[in-house]
Amino acid sequence: MFGFIKKGLQKTKEAIQTVVGSEKKEKISKELLEEALLEADLDYDLVEKILDRLPEEVSKDKLKKELLWVFDVPPNDIKFDDKPYVMLIIGVNGAGKTTTIAKLAHKYKSEGKSVILGAADTFRAAAIEQLSKWAEILDVPIIKTKHGHDPAAVAYDTISSAKAKGIDVALIDTAGRLHNKVNLQNELKKIVNVSKKAYENAPHKKILIIDGTQGSSAINQAKVFKELIGADGVIITKLDGTAKGGSVFTIANDLALPIYYVGVGEKPEDLVKFDKEEFVEGILESIYGG
């Protein structure tokens, strides 16, 4: 068993097996397959799209091909081909931005990279506090300001500091909700523009954080963010606590963006690089048993 599948897909597997049972099978009827995929929270339209291309009795190999096809999106490797490498973390409040930044900082640090955090969600005092706590726990520097101050200035200072100190990776938090969409868009655009002033190549990645337990409402919100300032890829959080692992397919299909990592718990080490083969194998194992 793979670590991620064990941790992240356990509940999804149980949900699938309430429909199909746990015994080993060579083929499965389309009807049962439809029910199992819907139970795992794949979106109805996507399930129909997948089933359309399959025969009445579906073998594991045929289904594998169709499920992998959903992840036919740009590659999900992050190459760190520049220094500092600046990652802007965007998404709605509560999706898990702060925790995910801590996880990324922990991961990159343990790979030997130096990391700096930027607390550019100045809209909420709690967000600055929470990120500061993580910086202390993880022993990484953080650039912050007072609640209500200019978030673009925080981004600028974070990137400038990373440049001056030769830091490898800058992770910048952003607000998930302002008074309205126009405010949010203006603020995010300003952060991007000012980041470029601090370093012309920044931000290298705009990463959208999506709560994997929230279904279509989270996907619709993510689409809004993607439209507001664009995104290079996503991180899906909270896959450990949910039977809705199939939402990963829907997110990849709807947003047409690579999935870099998935969150499988609340601790800094609970972040796994997303591997589509491994993920699809996990789903297939749940359906076909074995």
Ligand X SMILES: Nc1nc2c(ncn2[C@@H]2O[C@H](COP(=O)(O)OP(=O)(O)OP(=O)(O)O)[C@@H](O)[C@H]2O)c(=O)[nH]1
188 binds ligand X (CB under 6 A): no
Minimum Å gap between C-beta 121 and ligand X is 6
Number of residues that bind ligand X (CB under 6 A): 19
CA end-to-end distance (rounded Å), the chain: 11
CA distance 169 to 114: 6
Q: Give the one residue of 40, 87, 96, 191 binding ligand X; rule: CB under 6 A.
A: 96
Largest CA distance in the chain: 62
Question: And the tokens for 237?
Answer: 């959080």
241 binds ligand X (CB under 6 A): yes
Residue 177, marked binder: yes
Nearer Cβ to ligand X, position 76 or 237?
237
264 binds ligand X (CB under 6 A): yes
Residue 93, marked binder: yes
Closest C-alpha to 84, from 163, 140, 195: 163
Residues 65, 35 contacting (CB under 8 angstroms) = no
Minimum Å gap between C-beta 63 and ligand X is 27
CA distance 221 to 95: 11
Question: And the tokens for 142?
Answer: 């953080």
Q: Give the one residue of 107, 238, 244, 276 binding ligand X; rule: CB under 6 A.
A: 238
Nearer Cβ to ligand X, position 33 or 88?
88
3-state secondary structure of 97: helix
Q: Cα torsion for 263, 141, 138, 264, to the nearest 10°?
A: 0
Q: Of 3-42, which residues contact ligand X (CB under 6 A)?
A: none
CA distance 232 to 206: 5
Minimum Å gap between C-beta 28 and ligand X is 30
Interface contacts to ligand X, rule CB under 6 A: 93-99, 127, 130, 176, 237-238, 240-241, 263-266, 270
Report the binding-site residues for GTP: 91-98, 173-177, 237-240
Report the binding-site residues: 91-98, 173-177, 237-240
